[in-house]
Chains A and B, each alone.
Chain A
């Protein structure tokens, strides 16, 4: 369990942030560039020393007013935006670097074997870093951070520098590792969608301090919050593939919203877990249960909140089962349908828009 109280005071703003992350939990740290999220992460790691701050891990003091434990004595796994592999060592030697320095009492060979056997890593062991692609380098960097069996995983924009193809490939790898190894983790990114996919809770950072902490699903359905965002921010849901329709190239997934049909992704089999994102602009609102339309997904729910973003658009927050889905509709449609809080409606999602 990590408990930290960090006062950032080196960027012209002074702000105090409190963070606690439990075992197996992923806290996303999100904010615009320059908001101090990287500084906050580096302070928790001990790469920066902020005065008037306190970092306590499992009742062990890492930092307070009198004490500062150097980075190399904290058991952390840290991944930077650049993979920072040791170019003069091959992949396996890179992986062993942390293990060789780990104190005997916590270095376990079975742990190391599990990392080396990871599907994204094992074929690369004998290669030199200069021969790897960006995505492969970052996978190795992540595996290296895990090799010494860290108590805390800190990821600073780990996939930001990658191209879109590599991103889509490494994201499931990352999600799986974080879930499998059950280490508390802080994930920093300026991409809200990325943070939402991977995090249990999201901390929003502005001008050097955390202004809001909430679960990903609550935050992305917080209309005041998403209305202020400069871009569209999709809702993110865990999904398990329940059925595959090869004839039409569709898959049916079980999610917190209910069954959802989407275009079948490549190499997917029944039982696979994935994260899907649904953008508010791809959700429309209907009043009738049976409507003739090309839409495959129609989910019944209750309107829990409506706000107008500007003169032409509105957000409608629909409560479905135990979670929320946000629809972005024109203000004209909202008036024409006479939508109001408490109405029973049908949220319609285009299958093609689910990624």
Chain B
């Protein structure tokens, strides 16, 4: 069973702004019954001030989808469309007092419906224009690369599982998971690149490219670190590298071991400082 916040439960049981504005100035529709949730948002907008006077929703979906839709309508009423567009899925989730990780896609759906409605108001057919540039990654839920990258960027997502929770991509047959992995890797490598150039390459004294650097970290893990951990039936895997930060996941007996931080700091980090770069900081990723 899910653990929903009081706010989610309240807005599910007594949702505000249910229905449809008959002479709506803007209509936004996202999702479909096949995907398991769908939202239809109708807005009344003051044409002079661009202020959202009224908002109503119709939602097919679970409790968090209904609550997210209701939250969205409450949040945007009285705002100008420019103000409303600054609302992200994070804001919706926060308004609701948090959502279960697996349900974050409900807040994303809210944000998308709003964008669709405003595009409709402005007379832009966003969909058609962008579709050619976008590539469908997840065929089960029709999720494009653009949507995935945006979710990664806005929510700082690190794993395929997180991407699935936020966008549904990969949640059906799972065939697109390697592609999502690739998008994650590309995004975070780009980010790491940014950070390195910002710090004027100070971390990159050996003149290594990012790829070489990651390779060296991986080699050091394989050669110097994993054999030692394995002696105690533990293990480690490299999750990500972001500038000086090396994200690792501990496995086997290392999981929940009281000496975890000792292992990480005085062994793993020390070895990586020794073999790769003395500025390296090791961080543990917990699932």
Are both chains from one complex?
no
